Amino acid sequence: MSNGVLSNWHVLFEDFSTSTQDFYRAVEAAIARRDLPDLEVSRVLFKEAGIASAQREYLRISRRRVAFDICSAPYGNGHFFSWWLAKVPARFGLVLAAATIVGALLVWGILTYPLIRFGGCGGTFVGALLFIAGIPAVLYGLGMLVDRGVLSDEEWLLSVPYIGRLYAAFFNPNSYFRLDTAMMFRDSVRAAVNEVINGLREAKGLRALEGEALRPREAGRL
The domains of the chain are located at: 5-89+195-221, 93-176
In DSSP notation, 19-38 reads -HHHHHHHHHHHHHHHT-TT
In angstroms, the CA 107 to CA 77 distance is 63
The per-residue pLDDT for 62 is 92
Q: What percent of the chain has pLDDT over 70?
A: 63
The per-residue pLDDT for 222 is 42
Other CB atoms within 10 A of residue 39 CB:
17
The per-residue pLDDT for 87 is 83
Phi, psi of 83 (to 5 degrees): -140, 150
Contacts of 164 (CB under 8 A, 6+ apart): 157, 158
Phi, psi of 44 (to 5 degrees): -130, 150
Name all contacts of 106-115 with Cβ < 8 Å and 24+ positions apart.
Answer: 108/134
What is the mean predicted confidence (pLDDT) over 210-221? 78
Q: What torsion do the CA atoms of 195, 198, 204, 207 make, to the nearest 10 degrees?
A: -150
Q: Which residue has the higher pLDDT, 216 or 154?
A: 216
Q: What is the pLDDT of residues 85-101, one digit of tens each?
A: 998 765 555 565 666 66
DSSP summary character for residue 106 = H
